[in-house]
Amino acid sequence: MIIKPFKRESLLPLPVAFISTISADGVRNIAPYSCIMPVLRPLDLICLASAWKRDTLNNIRATGEFVVNLAGADLADKVIPTARFSPPEADEFILAGLSAKPSVEIKAPGIEGCYAWMECRLWKLYEESQFVLIVGQVVHCEVADAACLPDGSINLETARPLMITGSNQGMKFCTAFDIHRFEPFGAMFPNGKDPLAAKYTEE
Ligand SMILES: Cc1cc2nc3c(=O)[nH]c(=O)nc-3n(C[C@H](O)[C@H](O)[C@H](O)COP(=O)(O)O)c2cc1C
């Protein structure tokens, strides 16, 4: 089947991350973002694609900070309350019935009940007429013990990362599961050694 190019995102299961920020006046804001990706291994940069009309973008410009909150499937009912338009002066933690988790390195709080939190400082904005790419540097990264496996991966069964696939009518919420196949990073290299291996063990 051939589909219209703009429907490309329907073919790509996407994470649903809640971005929490505060405004220059200290108003707390939350918005779900799915257009999000890490920028290459082993950098500590993460990129969000944002529309211009977003309190999230305004707050990041004003404060230079944001938290990427990774939610489990149990928080699917918080997506629409945080995605609906609400005026910049509305506290979206209260609006969505979510509690704040104080951050370690930045003023913007994270969200209680998520399985992981990436505290970010604005690194660079790439401004285009139709969108802005927000690149943040992760300055503190934390995962709930219950969602973490000893090998440094997340426990997909307990974390149940919240994701979506798109359809012509809207968003289907889903999660990821393990297919029990593993390859070391080194498998990509002719000598079988991952040149970045030491990064993963250093304190
Ligand atoms: C599942 C989901 C994913 C979304 N992903 C994005 C995104 O990646 N970028 C974006 O600009 N808006 C995205 N949105 C729309 C914003 O969440 C929505 O416009 C929200 O009201 C923005 O809030 P704010 O003005 O408080 O920042 C998404 C909405 C949903 C429901």
- pLDDT at residue 202, as a whole number: 80
pTM: 0.97
Q: What CATH number has the domain spanning 5-200?
A: 2.30.110.10
- pLDDT at residue 154, as a whole number: 96
Closest protein CA for atom 10 of ligand 1? 50
Atom of ligand 1 nearest to the CA of 19: 27
For 62-74, how does the pLDDT look when each residue is reduced to its tens digit (9 = 90+)?
999 999 999 999 9
Break the chain into its structural domains and give their ranges.
5-200
Say how far apart CA 136 and CA 67 lie, in whole Å. Answer: 10
| DSSP E strands, the chain | 14-15, 17-22, 28-33, 36-38, 45-50, 65-70, 100-101, 110-111, 116-127, 132-143, 163-166, 171-174
For 10-38, how does the pLDDT look when each residue is reduced to its tens digit (9 = 90+)?
999 999 999 999 999 999 999 999 999 99
What is the token pair recorded at 2? 């051939």
Phi-psi region of 19 (alpha: psi -120 to 50; beta: other; left: phi over 0): beta
What is the token pair recorded at 59? 């707050």
Q: Using the mean position of ligand 1's atoms as its centre, give its distance from the Cα of residue 33 in Å.
A: 5
Q: Which residues of the chain have pLDDT under 50?
A: none
